[in-house]
Amino acid sequence: MDVFELANFPFVNGALRYVEELDFKLDELFSELAFEGVRGRGKERVLHAMGDGIEKPGISDETDAKMELLSYPVARILVSCINDAFLIRRYSLAEAKSAHELLRKLPVASLKEFATDFSIDAEISEQGTSMHFTDYIRFAVRDPKWKLINRTMDHGMVHLSKEEFIRIMEEAVRKRIESNLPVDVPPEICAALGTALQEIRNEMETRRSEFSIEEFKEIMPDCFPPCVVHALSGVSSGVNLTHSARFALTSFLLNIGMNVEGIIGMFNVSPDFDEERTRYQVLHIQGGTGTTYKSPSCSTMLTYGNCIGKDSVCERIAHPLGYYRKKAWLLGKGKTTDNQDKNPPDVS
Ligand code: SF4
């Protein structure tokens, strides 16, 4: 790959070697005026990762390409100084999504070179792709459609469309970036980046509060049971929930009155977010096909490993919806007729 391609894919091994061979020391990157633009772009990568995603700037010459390439280690160092799981996941996901668009434009030969960088044994052509099943298992998306049993396999090679292969590569990129964060950063470098770090922390707090308060302002998030809080914190930090946890969370939120758009927006940080599919699933759980689903009981939650973080209120209920109502009553948020004050609604 030349420097222009390395600028687009700064997480490949060739990019690391290229940067190591450049004639400067790490601390110069964070102190010299000549690198101010690189530092700015590195910060922008992290801020955009928490927003609408990382867009690639126009690169017209080698200087632009080097600047874009160097902004990647700056971004990683910024993320590492903060060292927050939510930020690491959001950043890794955004870099991988950004790479996805660029991978689609790569010619077959470059795509093969890219796969080799990830030690992926693949045969690639415009018509279709096949890869060894052991590589497929490493990076396949966690979804029934991607289960090995649902794929066509021949002599250990799994057949995929080119688009599916690129989706696999996106996951490989995400895992590589996430597993290599945080990096060790000397404290004096984090100190030199103080202003940029504060800006990123402020943005993180804004994103978190938008998620946790604005989405739920018409309902009572402080009454959510521990299992729901756990699932929500996973979603907000980009964890790919199991199917059963996703169903439990979605049905719970629908049952307490959250709207469909709010729930779809909530899943928008998931590694496999697909708006159309998510909308279908949420509407299905809501009753779009004639069956209105109630969220699972505590015993079902326990069976599927989704009962997490039980507290004292859990001892008095048998259903997460019962928890929600009991907690509302305990906090004085329930309806105030005498009867309901003495006997909080039981939906268990
Ligand atoms: S006992 Fe029920 S409400 Fe409490 S955490 Fe477990 S599943 Fe959730």
d(CA 185, CA 191): 10
Judge if the beta carbon of residue 305 lies within 6 A of ligand 1.
Answer: no
Q: Are 91 and 53 in contact (CB under 8 A)?
A: no
> Please, which residues bridge with residue 131 across strands?
122, 158
Q: Are 306 and 227 in contact (CB under 8 A)?
A: yes
> Residue 159: beta bridge partners?
130
Tell whether ligand 1 has an atom less than 6 A from the beta carbon of residue 238: no
Residue type at 196 in one-letter notation: A
Neighbours of 308 (CB within 10 A): 16
User: How far, in Å, CA of 152 to CA of 123, rounded?
Assistant: 15
Phi, psi of 132 (to 5 degrees): -65, 140
Write down how long the chain is.
348
Amino acid 143: pLDDT: 63
- The helix or strand, by DSSP H or E, that contains position 160, with its residue range, turns out to be strand 157-160
C-alpha 208/C-alpha 102 separation (Å) is: 29
123 strand-pairing partners = 130
Question: Which one, of 238, 231, 280, 273, lies nearest residue 252 by Cα?
Answer: 231
* Ligand 1 contact via 323 beta carbon (within 6 Å): yes
Closest-lying ligand 1 atom to the alpha carbon of residue 319 = 2
| pLDDT at position 68 | 94
At 323 the pLDDT is 92
Residue 301 near ligand 1, beta carbon < 6 Å: yes
Q: Best mutation site among 307, 311, 347 for ligand 1, i.e. most ligand atoms within 8 A of its Cβ?
A: 307
Counting from 1 in the atom list of ligand 1, the atom nearest the Cα of 308 is 5
Question: What stretch of H or E contains 153?
Answer: strand 153-154
- Which residue has its alpha carbon closest to ligand 1 atom 8? 227
User: What was the pLDDT predicted at 213?
Assistant: 38
Residue nearest to atom 2 of ligand 1 (CA): 298
Atom 6, ligand 1: which residue's CA is nearest? 307
Verify whether ligand 1 is closer than 6 Å to residue 310 (CB atom).
yes
Which single residue is written with the structure tokens 């973080």?
A: 309
Q: Radius of gyration (Cα) for the chain, nearest Å?
A: 24
298 lines ligand 1 (CB under 6 A): yes
The predicted pLDDT at position 334 comes to 53
Instruction: For ligand 1, say whether the CB of 226 is within 6 Å of any of its atoms.
Output: yes
Does any ligand 1 atom lie closer than 6 A to the CB of residue 227?
yes
Q: From ligand 1's centre to the CA of 10, what distance in Å?
A: 44
Contact (Cβ atoms closer than 8 angstroms) between residue 297 and residue 319: yes
Cis peptide preceding 182, ω within 30 of 0: yes
Query: Nearest CA to 185 among 104, 64, 71, 74?
Result: 74
The CA distance from 322 to 45, in Å, is: 43
248 CA distance to ligand 1 middle (Å): 11
Q: Tell me the pairing of strands 122-124 and 129-132.
A: antiparallel
pLDDT per residue as tens, the chain (348 positions): 888 889 999 999 999 998 888 877 778 888 888 899 999 999 999 999 887 788 888 888 988 999 999 999 999 999 999 998 778 888 998 899 889 889 988 888 888 999 999 999 889 887 789 999 998 988 887 666 778 888 888 888 999 988 889 989 998 999 999 999 999 999 999 999 999 999 999 988 776 655 443 444 457 888 999 999 999 888 877 777 889 999 999 999 988 888 887 888 888 766 667 777 888 888 888 876 556 688 999 999 999 999 999 999 999 889 999 899 888 888 877 543 333 334 444 444
**How far is the centre of ligand 1, averaged over its atoms, from the C-alpha of 243 (Å)?**
18
Q: Can you name the residues that pair with 160 across neighbouring β-strands?
A: 129
Measure the CA angle with vertex 173, ends 171 and 176; round to 5°. Answer: 110
Q: What's the pLDDT score for residue 94? A: 87
> Tell me, what's the pLDDT at 291?
62
CA atoms within a 13 Å half-sphere pointing along the CA-CB vector of 276? 0
pTM of the model: 0.65
* Closest Cα to atom 3 of ligand 1: 320
Distance 326 CA to ligand 1 centre (A): 12
The rounded distance, in Å, linking the Cα atoms of 93 and 341 is 47
What is the Cα–Cα distance from 51 to 284, expressed in whole angstroms?
Answer: 29
| Predicted local distance difference test score (pLDDT) of residue 66 | 92
Q: How far is the CA of 320 from the centre of ligand 1 (A)?
A: 6
Predicted local distance difference test score (pLDDT) of residue 59: 84
Are the CB atoms for 257 and 218 separated by under 8 Å?
yes
Compute, in angstroms, the gap from residue 53 CA to the centroid of ligand 1.
Answer: 35
